[in-house]
Structure 1
Amino acid sequence: MNFLEIQFALRGKTLPADHGYALYAAVKKRLQETDDELLPKDLPSEVRLCSVSGLPDRVGMIYLNRRSRLRLRCPAEQMQLWYRFLQNQVFDIRGHLVRLVQPRITLPEASDTLAARLVTFKLNSIDHVDVPRYFLESCQKGLERLEVKGQVFIPSDANGDLSRRTLQVKDKKIVGYGVVVEGLSSDDSLKLQWHGLGGRQHFGCGWFYPVREGCDAA
């Protein structure tokens, strides 16, 4: 688990609120266009992106601010490769242009409580009222596979409802939930931040961060 996080400030004004897949697609497109033979043509499984935070306008868009960051986690030995590739790149995210500037490198920080904005699993067709229970069971099984011990729950949103969220992937909407895991040891905290939970991690899903990061996180 020798990994680092690269954070890029953003020059731009807005992004779609649901931009995880579009961000991944823009990065992949630029990888396919590069002549650098050291770079792959797609993001490797061990490289993960986080969606960008911002101020929501409640109608499907966020406004970027000084705390908005594009964040990427990768094995420590790959840091320079991705640092050089992404620095000063301009991406078109569904018509919203952003430039990646002022990169900084951070070490992962252990915390006994981690949160993820959106975690998704491929669930079989089940009755809607049972989805949270099956979802939590999937989270617990995912922790067990990682040999991580912690208490997992779905938090509530500002309205007091379960934090149910969606991700747009092409013409399909993927449903998931926000997740909090408590009672983690330092080793398990770092392991969960590295491996994440669930699928679609190239699109920002399953990205865990210390809860004290608050609005600076995904």
Structure 2
Amino acid sequence: MNFLEVQFSLRGQTLPADHGYALYSALKKFLQSLEQEQQAKLLIERNLPPDLLICSIAGIPNQNGIIYLNKNGRFRLRCPAENAAQWYRILQNQVLDIRGHLIRLIQPRLTLPQASATLKARLVTFRLDTWNSQDAPLHFLQSCQKGLAKLDINAQVSIDSNDEGNLAQRAIKIHGKNVLGYGVTVEGLNPENSLKLQGMGLGGRKHFGCGWFYPVQEVGHENSIRA
């Protein structure tokens, strides 16, 4: 399956730093307001299609859980190539209300994901039965390896470190609960598998910004959205 990325420039000022679930909710609410014919290919039983990936929006963080948008900020989604034009048309110039922060999606463009032997994801999550700091990394890496195997991808996966040299454990808030995961690097990818991983993602909560992989040359993506 071939995937395309749809990118929108933004008009707006601020967003919550942890906005993955709120962004998903705003997008879903907008789509459900459309006529049924327009919804047909974009919603499955009133939910977003499972083959859609949504990226968190980058910005400049402050210390109060807010990010400030800048001219380089983008709303980005990846989808099967045959659906990209519809996302492009329907979302163009629309306003999303993300927990009271308004952003307008402007100047859309279509791009091809670029193959890279090394990909990173800021946050990957899995539904682990239990979570404790001692056993979680082992179970998490095993889940990553199983996820790659399901995609028929042979590569090396590791948990990133943060600026303090500790494991890059991160969280996303969903329904008031923190869902934990890690920053991940996948190395040794051939071009076909690199594009597949970018198009399919890894782990769960991929509608909320999790499991989104990007080439290491996309400088600043990880740090710019951290509060």
Give me the TM-score of the superposition, normalised by structure 1.
0.96
5 Å-filtered alignment, 1:1-218, equals: 1-39=1-39, 40=43, 41-216=46-221
Query: Whole-Å Cα distance in 1 between the matches of residues 217 and 95 of structure 2?
Result: 30
CA shift at 1:85, angstroms? Answer: 1.1
In structure 1, distance between residues paired with 2:186 and 2:177: 28
Determine the C-alpha separation between the residues in 1 that align with 2:66 and 2:185.
Answer: 25
SS at match of 1:8: strand
Given that residues 23 and 98 in structure 2 are in contact (C-alpha distance below 8 angstroms), is that contact kept between their aligned partners in structure 1? yes
Deviation at 1:141, TM superposition (A): 1.1
Q: Shift in Å at residue 38 of structure 1?
A: 3.0
CA distance in 1, matches of 2:132, 2:34: 46
Amino acid at match of 2:123: L
Identify which range, 9-18 or 29-38, moves more after superposition. 29-38
* Residue type of the alignment partner of 1:2: N
How far, CA to CA, are the matches of 1:149 and 1:115 in structure 2?
16
User: Is the contact between residue 67 and residue 216 of structure 1 (CA under 8 Å) also seen in structure 2?
Assistant: no
Q: Aligned Cα RMSD in Å?
A: 1.3
The whole-number CA distance in structure 1 between the counterparts of 2:14 and 2:168 is: 23
Q: Report the TM-score, using the length of structure 2 for normalisation.
A: 0.92
Unmatched runs of 5 consecutive residues or more in structure 2: none
Query: How far apart in 1 are the matches of 2:197 and 2:156?
Result: 13
Partner SS, residue 212 of structure 1:
coil
For the residue of structure 2 that corresponds to 1:213, the secondary structure is coil
Q: Could you tell me which amino acid in structure 1 is paired with residue 87 of structure 2?
A: W
Q: Any stretches of 5+ residues in structure 1 without a counterpart?
A: none
Distance in 2, Cα, partners of 1:81 & 1:100:
14
